[in-house]
Structure 1
Amino acid sequence: MSSLDESSTKILVLGDSCVGKTSLCHCIAGGGEPPGGGRSFDSTIGATVVMAWHEYRAGTPEQRTELLELWDIGGMVAHRQAAQVFFEGAVGAILVHDLTNKRSEENLATWLTMLDGKPRGAAPKSSKDPAAVALKVDIESCNIPVLIVGTKADLVPHKGPVSYDRLHIDSLKIILRGSANSITLSRFFDSCLDRTRRTSLNSSSSSFFTKPRSMTPNLPGASASAAAAAANVTNRTMSPYTSVLMGS
């Protein structure tokens, strides 16, 4: 399932169910709390697309405003194989875990494998934090830019930085411009847009993530309803900060 609009850039938001992916998307888009003033979202089934603006290379002569598609992919175990029909056309991925749920962090390796098809082995035991070392290697070897985001930072303020780009956020609050998290996020989006530029200059690329937009999903294990939902979405332009529900 490729990008909804030729002028926007598709970025996947992946992670286990209920880790805060939907809240994060609205946080990035500047929406703050959920519509209606509530404090939580229902679990996503299929995919939801949230549109957001980004200032590419802000403060430089190359600065320009770009439209991003944040594809919030449902994380339920039963739907993971079907979720891959939404991966096509993505030029970056945000992997989300709950800082209060260690298993959701351990499962990030599974989401990386879904992205690039590379199996992940056991973490090395030669460091104080072998899981972090293994995840750093996996991120650097992935064929698209990847950013790790830990949510619910307000509940675990003792969590410190790690050896690779990672955000620890309270996704019920807007990310303040000029903050460390804002700068890291901006650099990540810039790298995704740089990849888009390289892809346009090399149209012969055969990468899974740069296949023609006309492709109809036909992945093993994908449910018929998910495939139909993906195939029936047509390209269209939407206002930023709006959500488009996909799947059922």
Structure 2
Amino acid sequence: MNQSSNKVLLLGDTGVGKSTLVETLCGKPNSRPESTVGVNIKVLAHQFAAGTPQESTEIIELWDVGGANIHRQTAARVFSDNVCGIIFVHDLSNSRSEQNLAQWSSLLEEVQLMNGSQRFGEFNRLGEVEKIGYLPTLVVGSYFDLAPHRSRDPNRQRLRFLRQYEEIQVDCRKEISAGSTNKLLVSRFFDAVCVVKSRNSEIISQRRRRL
């Protein structure tokens, strides 16, 4: 793949740790970012297909969308163009924030349908990205340090629409340990994002050649 920009939206309520997660993914754990108004954009370098002949450096754009109710619908419509992946973030110590992801999902789905863009519903395991026309989607449960029991709670019921996606649970202030399952899932997610970007670019090129 050529070096290119791959757009990822981070969606979730205000205060769930989206901005802190972005800083940590960009190599700045323990930072204290201010609340997001509108959107903040950060970039990171990702090694696509690391350790294989296809390995290349890809630029990931992390679009941290403010979670305030007043901006929610506008944000979903304005910032969803050319998106290559979705990260839903909720606070493990606040079950309401997980329930509210359904609202973000509905808003984004409406926009995707209106624009004729790629869908992100139904089958969305990261290994299936090359086979179907859906956006890679990752769920992040933040503030694991405040609610470590939730991951082990047999009575915890994930929202139905979230069950189809990979989920990691983290303390957003701490670096995700190299070699951990969480690190592997994040890397696979970014790989899937790069595949979508490459596929979209190829489709656009084919359309231009036909004109």
Q: Which category of TM-score, normalised to the shorter sequence, fits these structures?
A: 0.7 to 0.9
What is residue 116 of structure 2 aligned with on the other side?
none
Amino acid at match of 2:178: R
Go from structure 1 to structure 2 and tell me whether the alpha carbon gap of 1:76 and 1:55 turns closer, same or farther (over 3 Å shift). Answer: same
Distance 2:9 2:148 in 1: 27
Find out whether 1:143 has 2:134 as its counterpart.
yes
Distance 2:45 2:21 in 1: 15
C-alpha RMSD of matched pairs (Å): 2.3
CA deviation after TM superposition for structure 1 residue 64, in Å? 1.0
CA contact (8 A) 1:199 1:205 kept: no
Matched residues, number: 178
Give the TM-score normalised by structure 2.
0.77
Residue pairs, 1:28-47, within 5 angstroms = 28-34=25-31, 40-47=32-39
What is residue 103 of structure 1 aligned with on the other side?
96
What is residue 112 of structure 1 aligned with on the other side?
105
Go from structure 1 to structure 2 and tell me whether the alpha carbon gap of 1:178 and 1:139 turns closer, same or farther (over 3 Å shift). Answer: farther
Equivalent position SS for 1:158: helix
- Unpaired runs of 5+ residues, structure 1, are 1-5, 35-39, 119-136, 207-248
What is residue 156 of structure 1 aligned with on the other side?
147
- Unpaired runs of 5+ residues, structure 2, are 112-119, 125-132, 153-157
Distance 2:96 2:197 in 1: 33
CA contact (8 A) 1:23 1:41 kept: yes
Amino acid at match of 1:191: A
Distance 1:96 1:140 in 2: 19
What is residue 182 of structure 1 aligned with on the other side?
183
Give the TM-score normalised by structure 1.
0.66
Distance 1:70 1:97 in 2: 17
Greater relative contact order: 1 or 2 (C-alpha under 8 angstroms, separation 6 or more)?
A: 1
Distance 1:203 1:154 in 2: 44
CA contact (8 A) 1:116 1:143 kept: no
CA deviation after TM superposition for structure 1 residue 193, in Å? 0.6
Find out whether 1:27 has 2:18 as its counterpart.
no
Go from structure 1 to structure 2 and tell me whether the alpha carbon gap of 1:16 and 1:139 turns closer, same or farther (over 3 Å shift). Answer: farther
Go from structure 1 to structure 2 and tell me whether the alpha carbon gap of 1:205 and 1:173 turns closer, same or farther (over 3 Å shift). Answer: farther
**Larger helix proportion of the pair:** 2
Go from structure 1 to structure 2 and tell me whether the alpha carbon gap of 1:76 and 1:156 turns closer, same or farther (over 3 Å shift). Answer: same
Distance 1:18 1:104 in 2: 9
* % identical aligned pairs: 40
Amino acid at match of 2:51: G
Distance 2:178 2:41 in 1: 23
What is residue 128 of structure 2 aligned with on the other side?
none
CA deviation after TM superposition for structure 1 residue 138, in Å? 4.3
CA contact (8 A) 2:14 2:66 kept: yes
Distance 1:106 1:139 in 2: 18
CA deviation after TM superposition for structure 1 residue 41, in Å? 2.8
Distance 2:28 2:203 in 1: 36
CA deviation after TM superposition for structure 1 residue 31, in Å? 0.8
CA deviation after TM superposition for structure 1 residue 175, in Å? 1.1
Equivalent position SS for 2:149: coil
